[in-house]
Amino acid sequence: MIPAELSGITLEDLIPHRGRMVLIDDILEVSSSHALTASVMNAAYPLVEADGVQPLIMIELAAQTAGVCNGWDRVKTKGIDSKQMGWLVGVKRAHFYIEHIPLGSRVVTRSENSHNYGNLREVASVLHLGDKRIGEVTLQLFQV
């Protein structure tokens, strides 16, 4: 599902990931300052073990969700044909409150630009499995 304001814009227009490295299934909300996405854990994901997906995957879910909002900002300000570049991502902080994320479960990720200094952004992300908070990730993004 893609919100109405994204009509005609695909996930590939917003983030540089392709193929099995696209971990987002649905964009639930998007603005220039935040995005809310949903991802269903599946066996094709990296970091899958017998008990489910390792919580380290939450860093990538946070980064891709941040990419949705920052990609949306780029499309709105520079146009759909603007040069799409990825971001260098540093993990400032990560807290995981679950040992494994069960396969088939739906994780909702909210990423919000807490600081925006042009090509440098700090992003605060919170991840939920149902009503349970399963992780918090703070990223630092830099785009050349």
Task: For 97-115, write each residue's pLDDT tens digit.
Answer: 999 999 999 999 999 999 9
Sign of CA dihedral 116, 24, 17, 139: positive
Confidence of residue 119 (pLDDT cuts 50, 70, 90): confident
Mean of per-residue pLDDT scores for the chain: 89
pLDDT cut 90: percent of the chain above it: 63
Q: Are 129 and 98 in contact (CB under 8 A)?
A: yes
Cα(67)–Cα(86) distance, rounded to whole angstroms?
A: 8
6 pLDDT higher than 70 = no
Which one, of 123, 125, 89, lies nearest residue 110 by Cα?
125
Confidence of residue 1 (pLDDT cuts 50, 70, 90): very low
pTM: 0.91
Query: Hey, what domains does the chain have and what are their CATH numbers?
Result: 4-142 (3.10.129.10)
Q: What length is written for the chain?
A: 144
Higher pLDDT, residue 21 or 104: 104
Task: For 29-51, write each residue's pLDDT tens digit.
Answer: 999 899 999 999 999 998 999 99
Q: Strands across the sheet with 26-30, in order?
A: 26-30, 34-40, 106-117, 120-129, 132-142, 88-96
4 pLDDT higher than 60 = no
- Element of type H or E holding 34: strand 34-40
